[in-house]
Amino acid sequence: METIKLQIPTMKSQHCMMVVSGALKNQSGASLKKVSPGKAEIELHGATSAAVIETIERAGYHVTNK
């Protein structure tokens, strides 16, 4: 198991955090450990970091530390 910490500068409000959390719930092999404005900590259980980043970006949020 690996934990990644992502910077998501456009994820600022509670609504934005809920959108990203919802997108990650549908991501197989990953679980959201912690979310705060501009940041997310995600545990990988078989998913790749690239797949998680793609999921977040499809939800409309840019990840800056790829």
CATH 3.30.70.100, applies to 2-58: yes
Q: Which stretches in the chain have pLDDT values below 50?
A: none
DSSP secondary structure letter of residue 1: -
Q: Which pTM was predicted?
A: 0.92
**pLDDT number for residue 5:** 97
CB 20 within 8 A of CB 14: no
Instruction: Give the pairing of strands 39-44 and 30-36.
Output: antiparallel
CB 33 within 8 A of CB 42: yes
Cα 60 to Cα 17: distance, rounded to the nearest angstrom = 12
Give the bridge partners for 21, in sequence order.
Answer: none
**pLDDT number for residue 47:** 96
Cα 20 to Cα 17: distance, rounded to the nearest angstrom = 5
